[in-house]
Each structure stands twice: as C-alpha cells, then as structure tokens.
A and B are shown apart, each in its own frame.
Chain A
Amino acid sequence: MSNVLSLTTFLPLLGVLLLLFIPKDSKGVLRNVTLAVTALTFAVSLLILNGFQTNAEFQFVENVPWIAAGPFMMRYNIGIDGISLWLVILTTFIMPIAVLSTYTAVEERVKEYMICLLLLETGMLGAFISLDLFLFYIFWEVMLIPMYFMIGIWGGKNKIYAAVKFFIYTMVGSLLMLVALVFLYFKGMEAGITDFGLLHFFTLKLDLATQIWLFLAFAFAFAIKVPMFPLHTWLPDAHTEAPTAGSVILAAVLLKMGTYGYVRFAIPLFPDAANKFAPLIATLAVIGIIYAALVAMVQEDVKKLVAYSSVAHLGFVMLGIFAFNVEGISGGMLQMLNHGISTGALFLIVGFIYERRHTRLITDFGGLSKQMPVFATIFMIVTFSSVGLPGTNGFVGEFLILLGAFESTLRWWTIVATSGVILSAVYMLWVFQRVMFGELDNPKNQKLADLNGREIAIMVPLIVMIFFMGLYPKPIIDKMEPAIKKLVSQVRVSTPVAQAQSIQPVVALPAEGQAPAPEAGGTHETSAPAASTPQGTTTAPAVNPHDAK
C-alpha cells in the first residue's frame, strides 16, 4: 500500500487505456466504465484518507529519481500533507459526480470526452501531490490540455475564443513561473540543494529582492489561475462556454490549483516577500470580492453569474490565506473545499436546466419552483451554501477566513470583505428569485420535468457534504491543522519585520485550557486605561498575562 498515492493518480490514466479499447459507438459502456474508474479512484483515495496520520509531515511519500542531467535533478517525489489531502479527496470525490452529470448532457464524441475527463483527473491529482517543483509544473501544464479540449470541443457558441483564451492566459502565467522556478533552482544550487524537492527549498534563505521577484512570478501564475482581480476575465468566458462537467471541474478543482499554489509554494518558499505583498494581494482579493459580487448581480446568464461568484469566493480564500494565521489559512482551505462543492453543485444545477431548456438566460425562466419542487429545494440548499449560511459548509470557511483576517494586520480589509457577505446574498437570492419564484408564465417552462433519479443521485452526495462540512467540520480541520500550523510558522519565522507589525502574540502558544484569566485586582477601573488604546491603531505588542507567570 506504499504507493497508493501513485495508484490514485494514475488510475484514471489506466482508465484511458481501457477506454481506448471500447468502440466509440457504445456510449453506455464508455460512460459506465468511466464512472467505474472514477469511483474506483475515489475508493482508493479513501484509503489514503484512512491511512493519513494527523501530523504536519508529508505522508505516503514516494521519491525516486526521474531526470538527472546537467545541473538538474528532478525526482518523482510525491506525498501529501493535511493541506493537499483534502484537495485530493475533493478531486476524486467530484470526478464521479462530474462523470455522472454527462450521461445525457454529452451525446457526441463520448469517448473523447471521457478520455479528457480522465486525463484531467490525473493531471489535477498529480499537481496536488507533487513535492518536486518540476513535477508539479509538469502536471500543472498537463491539466490545461484536456480542459482546453473540453471547452473547445463540447463548449457553447463562443467556445473557441474561450478555450484559447483560457489556455494562453494560463500559459503566460505559468511560463513565467517556470522561469522563476529555474532561477530558484540555481539559487538553491548555490546553497547546496541538489534537486527540485520542495522541502529543500523551504530551508533556503533568499534575500528580499530575490524573493520579491520570484514571488511575483509565482504569484502571477497562481493569481491567473485563482483567478484574482484583475486577471479573472478568462474565467467567465471559460465557464460560460464549457460543458457542465467541465465547468464543475474547473470550478471545483482547477481554480484551487491557484490558491493551493499559494499555500504550498509561493508563500512558504518566499515568506518575506509574501509578507511584503500581503497587503497588496489582500487588496486585490477584497476588490475581487466586491467587484465580482457587483458584476455578478447584473449578469443575465446564470452560468456567468456563478462564474463571477467564483471570483468573489476565491477572493475570500485569498484573503484568508494572506492572513497568515491558522484560522485564516484553515478557513481558506475549507473555503476551497466548500467552493468546490457548492459552486460545483451550482454548475450542475445550471446544467440541469440548460439541458432541459437550452438556455441559461435568467429572463427565460421564472416560477420553476412550481414545476420542479425537488430541483427548487436542492437549488435553494446550494444557494444558501454558496451564500454562506451557518450550518452549511460555506459559513465555516467564510467565518474562519474573516476571523483570521481580522486578527491579522488585514483588519480593514476584512471589514470591507465582510460586506461581500451581504452582496453575495443579494446576487444569489436575486437570481434564485428570478429563476424559481414568480409566475410560471413561459409556456416552455410549463412542461419541464423535475429532476430524475440520476440527477438527484448526483446532487445527494454534494448536499450531504454541504451539511456535514457545515455542522461537523472538525475532522477536516483536525487533519489539516498541523500542516497549517507548520505553514504559519514558516511564514512567521523569517519575518522579523512582519512580526513587529503583527499585533497578536505568537500563535504557537498552547491555547487549550486557558480559561479567562483572573488578573490580580482585576476591577474594571484598573483595566480600563490599560486597554483604552483605540482599536486598529494598536501597535505595541500586548501584554500577555500568561507569559508573565
């Protein structure tokens, strides 16, 4: 079982080989085989989950030499920690759902479509588990190809524009990252690092100027993928044109690559620069939240609306990550998962009605609740999950992000970002109202069939996850927390500057069992002046009563 990670990653590739031998006319077989392969992958990935030890170390590590030539040494070095674990699970979890959603949506070129899906899965999984920078880059790029074809071949009217834009936009960013990656390698070589192993580079001390350039290159690539304002315009196009399963995967997993890239690479590799750019990135994230929400509000196409809502959600994720504390980053990670589930579900929902009506214009709908009550219920649950209603998954992530960001130096950003919570309710509920509420006056809508068994089966796991993660996120947080703590310490350790600015004491202090401390003579008169410093401008490190003991 030592190479279960490789097995998970390359199982879909084996599936591709299997598909090659199935004639292209037997669509049913193709679909079922693909479903079986993805389901099997999911099952195997559960083994990983099962065997995962809750600590900060990388586990299931496989490390064998791969390319060794010239100055370079690339290794097939894979492994997961708490951060990547859940993204791997998310990927394997979403894939069967995505496959299932194509049963009636894709009638042409089924074989090719399924091959694309499986290739994509391998690419995504590979990117999440790579611990070798070069290997990561390979998978990162490989993902583009099947996605490109999925948008381009099975997409909508404007598919070619969207597909090419998606491809080239991402490519520009990632190629610059490649340059930075190589540069980093040579820097590492000077310090005695001999391969592309990520963990070696964590120990590398770089001067600030170098860090800044490298960080910018990495951040640019990831920002495009996230996508962050103002590099987001490929996303609405790609989403609108992509077929349902494509949109689902794009939203659920592909966008996470960007945020994951920050967490795994950009931040721990260049902590000083990350600290320096945190305000800038937070600003962009916050602009993204508000901006995307406002733009989403006036969209006429449901899918585009959901796409813009993705931009806003990922703005939250970025804000949380750049809070650089356990709460913020955990929130960010959770929000990645949540966004994967909720937005994936939203795209599926849009797919359902698109399949029935072949339109996505909001004005073509109205009053569907009457005709499709099950659909309405599911749509509503997902909507509220997306809005971040407490009890659903969306809330936990959003809350932790905002809490973490508020604790950090990004307080004012948080306040602005929190108003995004209002706007998200506005646009989501508005679209829900316009689609589901009102008179069922369009005759074409009056004969719509409610969801069938397969469609419900697609949505049920998602809904279960929505509530599970909203009500009992503990197992998820527990597994990722050690890794996040390690990340936080990585960011903190090398940043004397940032620490001076930071208001809060070191997070690593044991927080358990610290009941409210009765301070000696703690009447309100004595404590009042001590704490009367106006909020927000406090810069002096606070007195920690426990340190004094």
Chain B
Amino acid sequence: MDMISIPAVNMTPIIPEIFLSVLAMALLLINVFVPSEKKSYLAYLSFFGIIASAVLVVNGWGSHVESFGGSVVLDNFATFFKITFLVAAGLAVLISDQYMDREGCNHGELYPLILFTVVGMMLMASGTDLMTIFLGLEVMSISLYVLAGFNRSSKKSNEAGLKYFLLGSFSTGFLLYGMALIYGATGTTRLYKIATIVGQMTLPSANLLLVAGMLLMMTGFAFKIAAAPFHMWTPDVYEGAPTPMTAFMSAGPKAAGFAALLRIFLLALPTLQAEWSQVLWVLAVLTMTVGNITALRQDNIKRVLAYSSIAHAGYALVGFAAGNATGTAGILFYMLSYAFMNIGAFAIIILVSKKGETNGNVSDFAGLGFKRPVLAVVMTIFLFSLAGMPPTAGFIGKFYLFSGAIQKGYIWLAVIGVLNSAASVYYYLRITVYMYMKEATEDFSWIQVTAPVGLALAISVAGSLIPGIVPSFILQYAQMAVKLL
C-alpha cells in the first residue's frame, strides 16, 4: 500500500477562482470585526476584489491550458464568460449595499456568498468534466438559494428561496440522471473523452442512452437559464428575492447555464447537433413566446423583467439552436450585454421602490420621466436595449443571435423570434409610457443615488450603449471565444 502521490497540477486555470475563494473567506473573517452599520466596506472590498480578479481573468486571454487531468480548462470561452460573471457580480455588489441597508438585512455574509456564486459559475464555464461542472453548478445554486432567501424577515424572500431550492434540487435530479446516462453510454465524465468516444460512434443519434442523457442534461440546464417549460420558478423567485439578488440571478446564473450548455454540447456532443438543435428550436420558440406573452399583462415590474428574462433566454436559445459561430458568439455577446442592461434596470427599480419592496409596480413609475429625468433616461436606455432597439447592445446581440439562425437556415425561427421581440416592445414601452406619459402621483423625493449605485448605473449605461455603437471589439472577442471550442 503505497502513499497516494498527489500529482503536480497546473493551477493557472483556476487562479481567479482561488483568488475569489480566498477573498470570500477573508471577507467572512473580516465580517466578524465590522460593525453592522459599516458593512459597506465589505461591498467595496469585494468590488475591488472582483476587479482584481477580472484583471487575473483577462490576463489569461488567449491561452489554452488544461489542468487537473482534464477537469478544467482555461480558454477564451471560459475567460469571456468569467468576465460576464464578474460584471454581473460587480454590478450586483454595487447595488446591494443601499438596498440591503434599507431592507435591514445587510449581513456581511452576503458578499462572500456572491463571490462563492461567482466561483461556482466560473467552474461551470471552465469545467471540462461533468463532475466539475456539476459541482460548480451546485456551488452556484446553493449560494443562490441562500441569496434568494437572504432577507429572512420577508415572507416573499423566504418563499422565493424555498421555491428555488425545491425546484432547483428537483431539476438537479434530472441533470444528474442525464449525466449518469451519458456516463453509462460513454464510460467517462471528461468532456474531451466523451467527444472522442461519441465521435467514434457510427450513429450516435441511435444511441438512446446518449440521447436521453443529453436531453436530461439539457433539462437541468434549461432550468437554470429559465427556458420554458422549466421556467416556472423564475417569476416567483425573481419577485421574491431581494432585488439586487434578482438582478444578479437574472444575469449571472443564466450566463453560467449557457456557458455549461455550450461547453457540453459543442465540445462533447457536436455530432448530435441535429438532435439537440431540433429540441432547442422548440424550446426557443416556447421560451420566447411564453416569456413575452405572459409579460404583457404583468403589473409588478420585477415580474415583468422576470418574464422578460425568460424571453431573453429564448432569444439566446435561438442562437444556440443555430449552433454556429455566429449564433454562439451572439450568445456570448448577448449574455454580457444582458448583464449590463438588466442589472441596470434592476438598479433603477431598487431606487424607485421603497422599504419592504413596496412601490414596485409598473404604475409606480408614473411621472418619473420629469421628476427624475436622468434616472428615467437611463432606465429608458436599458429598456430599449432590452427591447432590442438600435443603437444599443441589445440590438446587436439579438442581431447576431437571429443572424446565426438565419445562417443555419432556420428562417422561421428567426421570424418567430423577431415577432416575439416586436411583442416584447409592448411591455417595455409600457414602462416608458408610465415614466413619461402619465402624470406623476409621487414626487420621488426618497430616491437617493448613492455613489456605488451611481457607479453601477454609469457602468451599465456604458455597457448598454457602447457595445451597441461600436460592437466590433466585443464581438471579435466573442468570435475568438467560440472558435476554440
């Protein structure tokens, strides 16, 4: 019985993860010594930590390093998504402090949890082993269950956490079953190996174990990205969760889900593309349609954005169904810009709502346009970006997604997509209608834009507009990112 010799491993691919984990733990320790009214320092610390880790991430651009025996890889794809996660987390951190203070639940553990979530998401994006991906997913999910229920005193928050937890673990069951079947069909959990084995199969689509495994896995991830019919949790959880966490949830985990899906499907199962793109076609249509149509009649603005978030998952699925470089690069681009515009919109919602998340209906925005013109303009930019109006990032993103589908020959999918996005215009416009075209019922004097929120808004506006006007560089990075898959 010899000793187990732990092999020398290359740590490069997970340096940002390590950094963030260490930072999170450090914050946990610091938290003990920070008095409850000074928790903002933790926010600043974690924000700078996120920036630092972003630097670390960016540093890895262009390299391709596999490590841990093929459990994890550092490549442009992962880097791109990691940036997206960090953007989401950074913005979420910035907008959290004010909200949490107001709601009286500014516990210092919030920030470490966010950072751990990011670690989980990063592992999903860079993992090349089903186990890594699964564990990344769970780290992310468990943190999110907690974050969703973070405001213990709020019944809604409680309920959101519980719902998310129960349905999330239910979906985990399917995901795992799928992984098990894949494992059974291929004999391994390493994506590269799966790719090789599946590539050697004469007719992979006839292998039911494989196909079923693929579908079940898709189910699991579809839950995370809120694709119909696995989307039902989304509106409730988004509504109930503390708003900054909703913002974070809508941007980060969705992107992470796509990262994992893309990684698995494009890396390991490209030979099954005919099958999965067929399914994704249907899912995309269902998701867009359900999301958009249901959103039309919502009153609570968080719910509106929740359904809109479902619809956006649908748009991204359009690009995914196409499965080509245009579409997938579109997903990458879209997820990044979606993080900006959606979190920006939620930031405005935070500002407009009052303690206890009252004042959160669409009609409560009445007259904002002329009482607080800057905020309203900013919100309008986010909304138009969400609606996909040029010259915003949302438009370019959608353009690439749908273009991917068209390039692939899925014209009807693109047509359904654009019709959906025309319908979606209605509920985004509805918010602008209230902001600009209805008389104000309140004077919005309670709105205070603190420095972090202001910064978050500025970043979001820049992130929604600049990629819309000069999208080239981001798109090129996205293209490079998907090329290596």
A182 in contact with B436 given A145-B384, A167-B429 (CB within 8 Å): no
Q: Could you tell me if A175 and B421 are in contact, using CB atoms closer than 8 angstroms?
A: yes
- Docked Cα-Cα span, A168 to B402, in Å, equals 19
Whether A175 and B478, one on each chain, are in contact in the complex, defined by CB atoms closer than 8 angstroms, is no
Which of A135-143, A276-284, A307-315, A326-334 binds B?
A135-143
B249 to chain A, nearest CB (A): 29
Q: Is B279 positioned at the interface, with any CB of A under 8 Å from its CB?
A: no
Give the distance in Å from the alpha carbon of A179 to the alpha carbon of B318 in the complex: 13
How many angstroms from the CA of A176 to the CA of B406 in the assembled complex?
12
Given contacts A69-B329, A152-B433, contact A167 B403 (CB under 8 A): no
Min CB–CB distance A26 → chain B (angstroms): 16
| Given contact pairs A176-B418, A179-B411, A148 touches B402 in the complex (Cβ within 8 A) | no
Given contacts A69-B329, A179-B418, A182-B414, contact A149 B472 (CB under 8 A): no
B471 nearest CB neighbor, chain A only: A67
Docked pose: A240 CA to B390 CA in angstroms: 27
Give CA–CA (A159, B437) in the complex, Å: 8
Please give, as numbers and ranges, the residues of chain A lying within 8 Å of B325 by CB-CB distance: 70-71
> How long is the Cα–Cα vector from A152 to B436 in the complex, in angstroms?
8
Contact A186 B406 (CB under 8 A): yes
User: Does B418 lie within 8 Å of A183, measured CB to CB?
Assistant: no
Which of A159, A164, A179 has the most chain B CB atoms inside 10 A of its CB? A179
A72 contacts partner chain B, Cβ-Cβ < 8 Å = yes
Nearest-neighbor residue (CB-CB) of A154 within chain B: B437
Q: What is the CB-to-nearest-CB distance from B427 to chain A, in angstroms, rounded to a whole number?
A: 11
Q: Which of B380-405 contact A (CB under 8 A)?
A: 384, 389-391, 395-396, 399-400, 402-403
B419 at the interface (CB under 8 A from A): yes
Q: Say whether A109 faces chain B, with CB atoms less than 8 Å apart.
A: yes
**A429 proximal to B (CB < 8 A):** no
Q: What is the size, in residues, of chain A's interface with B at 8 Å between Cβ atoms?
A: 35
| A543 interface contact, C-beta 8 A | no
Q: Say yes or no: is B174 at the interface (Cβ < 8 Å to chain A).
A: no
Q: Contact partner of A183 among B411, B423, B426, CB < 8 A?
A: B411
Within the complex, what minimum Cβ distance (angstroms) separates B227 from chain A?
22
A378 to B90, CA, bound (A): 62
**In the complex, per-residue mask of A120-154: 1 if CB is within 8 Å of any chain B CB, else 0:** 00000000000000000110011011001100110
The reply to whether A172 and B422 contact each other, CB–CB distance below 8 Å, is yes
How far, in angstroms, from A148 to B436 measured CA to CA in the complex? Answer: 11
* A182 and B406 form a contact (CB under 8 A): yes
Q: Report B393 CB to chain A, min CB distance, Å.
A: 12
Q: Is the CB of A178 within 8 A of B418?
A: yes
B278 in the interface (beta carbon within 8 A): no
- Of residues 460 to 501 in A, which have CB atoms within 8 Å of B's CB atoms? none
Is there a chain A Cβ closer than 8 Å to B448's Cβ?
A: no
Chain B, Cβ-Cβ closest to A178: B418
**CA separation between A70 and B433, bound complex, in Å?**
37
Q: Within the complex, what minimum Cβ distance (angstroms) separates B90 from chain A?
A: 25
* Residue in B389, B426, B479 whose beta carbon sits within 8 Å of that of A69 in the complex: B479
Report B332 CB to chain A, min CB distance, Å.
Answer: 11
B402 and A164 contact, CB distance less than 8 A? no
State whether A175 touches B422 (Cβ < 8 A).
yes
Complex Cα–Cα for A176 and B373 (A): 33
B462-485 CB mask vs A (1 if < 8 Å, else 0) is: 000000001110011011000000
Q: Mark A172-207, 1 if CB is under 8 A from B, else 0.
A: 100110110011011000000000000000000000
Interface: A66 (CB within 8 A): yes
Chain B residues touching A, range: 35 or more
Q: Are B399 and A178 in contact (CB under 8 A)?
A: yes
| Complex alpha-carbon distance, A68 and B414, angstroms | 22
> B419 contacts which of A144, A175, A182 (Cβ < 8 Å)?
A175
Nearest CB on A from B181, distance (A): 34
Check B389–A145 contact: CB distance below 8 A. Answer: yes
Nearest CB to that of B480 among chain A residues?
A69
**Looking across the interface, which residue of chain B has its beta carbon closest to that of A149?**
B436
B61 in contact (CB, < 8 A): no
For residue B425, CB closer than 8 A to chain A, the reply is yes
Contacts A72-B403, A178-B402; A141 near B476 (Cβ below 8 A): no
Question: B residues within 8 A CB of A176?
Answer: 415, 418-419
User: Who on chain A is nearest to B430 by CB?
Assistant: A164
A160 adjacent to B418 (CB under 8 Å): no
Per the 8 Å Cβ criterion, residues 427-452 of B in contact with A are 429-430, 432-433, 436-437
**B370: interface (CB < 8 Å):** yes
- Given contact pairs A152-B436, A160-B437, A168 touches B422 in the complex (Cβ within 8 A): yes
- On whether the beta carbons of B418 and A175 are closer than 8 Å, the reply is yes
Q: Is the CB of A68 within 8 A of B472?
A: yes
Interface residue? A163 (CB, 8 A): yes
Chain A residues positioned under 8 Å from B369 (CB to CB): 153
A153: chain B residues at CB < 8 Å are 369, 436-437
Is residue B326 within 8 Å, beta carbon to beta carbon, of the partner chain?
A: yes
**Chain B minimum-CB-distance residue to A141:** B390
| A171 interface residue (CB < 8 Å to B) | yes
B407 in the interface (beta carbon within 8 A): yes
Residues of the B chain whose Cβ atoms lie less than 8 Å from the Cβ of A138 = 390-391, 395
Q: Which of B419, B436, B470 has the most CB of A within 10 A?
A: B436
Complex partner residue of A137 from B373, B390, B437, CB under 8 angstroms: B390
A167 to B432 CA separation, bound complex (whole angstroms): 12
Taking a contact as CB atoms closer than 8 A, the residue among B329, B373, B406, B426 that contacts A164 in the complex is B426
Contact B422 A182 (CB under 8 A): no
CB atoms of A164 and B433 under 8 A apart: yes
**Min CB–CB distance B368 → chain A (angstroms):** 13
| Shortest Cβ distance from B423 into A: residue | A168
> Which 8 A-B pairs have CB atoms at the shortest separation, nearest pair first?
A69-B475, A175-B418, A138-B390, A172-B422, A152-B437, A182-B403, A182-B406, A171-B422
Known: A186-B406, A186-B407. 17 other contacts (CB 8 A): A68-B472, A68-B476, A70-B325, A72-B403, A109-B370, A137-B390, A142-B389, A144-B389, A152-B436, A152-B437, A153-B436, A153-B437, A160-B437, A163-B433, A176-B419, A182-B403, A183-B406
Q: Which residues of A contact B (CB under 8 A)?
A: 66-72, 109, 112, 137-138, 141-142, 144-145, 148-149, 152-153, 159-160, 163-164, 167-168, 171-172, 175-176, 178-179, 182-183, 185-186
29 contacts between A and B (CB under 8 A): A67-B471, A67-B472, A67-B475, A69-B472, A69-B478, A70-B325, A70-B479, A72-B326, A109-B370, A138-B395, A142-B389, A142-B391, A159-B437, A163-B437, A164-B429, A164-B430, A164-B433, A167-B425, A171-B425, A172-B419, A172-B422, A178-B399, A178-B402, A179-B415, A179-B418, A182-B399, A182-B402, A182-B407, A182-B414
